[in-house]
Structures are given as C-alpha cells and as structure tokens.
Amino acid sequence: MTQRRKFFKDSLKASLGLALFSSVSTNVRAESSAAKKSPYTISLAEWSLREWLNSGKITNLDFPETTKKVFDIHAVEYVSSFFKGKETDSGYLRELKSRSDGAGVRNVLIMVDMWGQDGALASPEERIRHAAAQNHHKWVDAAKYLGCHAIRVNASGYGDASYRDAMGYFADGLAKLVEYGAANQISIIVENHGGYSSNGRWLADVIRQVGNEYCGTLPDFGNFRTDLEGGNFYDPYIGTAELMPYAKGVSAKSMGFDHHGQDTTIDFKRMMNIVAAFNFEGFVGIEWGGGLGMPMDAEAAIKATKKLLLESI
C-alpha cells in the first residue's frame, strides 16, 4: 500500500511537472543554492572516456582511480561493454571493487548497452521479453556486488509497433526485470535513449505502468532525438521535466563549448533549475558526448563540464 501511495504521489507530481518547472524562478534558485549545500553528488559516466578505453590507455579496472586522480570526482557510472564479458567473473568483480574502494570512489550504476546481445525488453514477443529480463539478471548481480544502486537499461526491440503497443511491450518486459531488481534492492532505470524512449511523456507513462519503487528514469540532457534518420527532436526541457518525478539519477551530457564555457546545445542552468524544482537528491553524472574531430579532448571536456555543472547548481 505504501508503494502504491508513493506512485500515486509521483504521478501527481508528473502531471504538475510542466507547470512547476515553468514557474521556477532563476533568481529564487540562485538564492536557494547560496543558502544551502548542494543536494547533488557529481559522478562520471564511463562513456566520457570511451576513446581512452578503446585505445587501451586505460581499462575498466583503471576507471575509478583515473576518475579520482584526473578529475577529482569520487563516484563512477560504468558502461557494460567495457567489462568485455567479465561481468560474471567473480575474480574480476572483486578486483574492480577492491580498486574502487581503495581509491575511495563510489560505484553508482552500470549502463547496460549490449544492444540486442542481452535481448530486447520491448519485443512484441513475450518469450523474447522474458528471456531479455533473464539475461539482464547478471548485470543486477554485478551491480549489487559492486555496491551500485541501479542498472540502466534501454527500450529496444519494438520495431515498427505503434506508440501505444510499444509502451505495453516495454512496460511488460521492464516489469519482469524490475521484479528481480527489487528482490536484490537494485533499481532498474531507463534513459531517454532514442525512439519512443526519447519522448518524455511516453517513457513517464511506461514507468507509471510498471508502478514499482525500484523502477525509474535517468533523464539525459542530450538524448531527446526521437527519429535518428529524420533528425526529429523532443523538447529537452519539457522531456526532462516529465521524467524528473521518477528520476533516480541525472545524466548531464555536454556536446561542445563556446568561448564563454557554455555548452553549445543545452542551457545547463535552465536544466539544473528543472532538476532542482523536483527536489532531486542524488547523483548527477557528467557524460561527455563529443567525439573525434572535436576541438576539445576528453580530459579538457570533462573538466569543462564539471566547471559548468558546479556553476549551474
């Protein structure tokens, strides 16, 4: 009953979300920020250092210590592909936990990005959704061992299903996985990551359908492209406001910077005002989304994002 009341409350917050975020005053937020300590902890998403990892400059095992020494950040968000199949290797996980503990770095979550490999949680076929949920159990187990609070999954596999049908498929597949996550006290969170999931209302409705305190969102500032080929975008500020009532983390993605040090695609101050309007307390992960050909390398970009984020909160 307590869990259901919580979700009724969250649903009400979602319905009021746009009005709330629209009414937030920048001046009031600035005064509030000065009056009390920030409720957020900055973490670093491993994808930010993908070039270092792919080139062999560092490994997944080096990520926690590198994050602390190079960026003075004390919390990390892993990406599944950089485990290179060792996510069920107890010795490997023990070594990774030993290194993160030794560096004084908190393991926050694992972003599961094995597109298709672990199965499609939003497949129209129930047997495939069931198998996909089972295949994700290993990531829940790894997250629990490492001391993470969540794994992030994707809404994939619905193909050309309608808006409504895709919602039903994903809610069902997600619920199957959330059951296992809840039993292990690991949250299953979903990022706006293309297609229907980049429609804030669609993803919020999925979370409401699942209706479990161990199911939530990971709003990403820069992933509101609903149609990759067509270049169609959902309004990122509206989308973030729609997802924040269920947020168990925030992904502060940066893509590039102007000569004033501001992100060229997202107004960080505006975004963090929205985050603050929902009284979010948790991890805000830096994710450098720029890549090869950019005038700024990963190290400089992450430090610039951290500076911008600190100025915005």
Per-residue pLDDT of the chain (313 residues; tens, 9 = 90+): 444 444 444 544 444 455 444 444 343 344 344 445 678 999 999 999 999 999 999 999 999 999 999 999 999 999 999 999 999 999 999 999 999 999 999 999 999 986 657 789 999 999 999 999 999 999 999 999 999 999 999 999 999 999 999 999 999 999 999 999 999 999 999 999 999 999 999 999 999 999 999 999 999 999 898 886 677 889 999 999 999 999 999 999 999 999 999 999 999 999 999 999 999 999 999 999 986 666 689 999 999 999 999 999 7
**What is the pTM for the complete model shown?**
0.88
Collapsing DSSP to helix, strand or coil, 92 comes out as helix
User: Measured between alpha carbons, how far is 42 from 246 in angstroms, rounded to an integer?
Assistant: 19
- Report CA-CA distances (Å) from 135 to 114, 121, 176, 256: 11, 10, 11, 36
pLDDT at site 290: 86
Between 126-135 and 163-183, two packed helices, what is the crossing angle to 10 degrees?
40
Q: Where are the domains of the chain?
A: 2-312
pLDDT at site 296: 82
Structural domain 2-312, CATH architecture:
Alpha-Beta Barrel (3.20)
Q: How many CB atoms lie within 10 A of CB 210?
A: 23
Q: Mind giving me the DSSP string for 278-289? A: TT--EEEEEEE-
Give the end-to-end CA distance of the chain in Å, rounded to a whole number.
35
Q: How many CB atoms lie within 10 A of CB 247?
A: 19
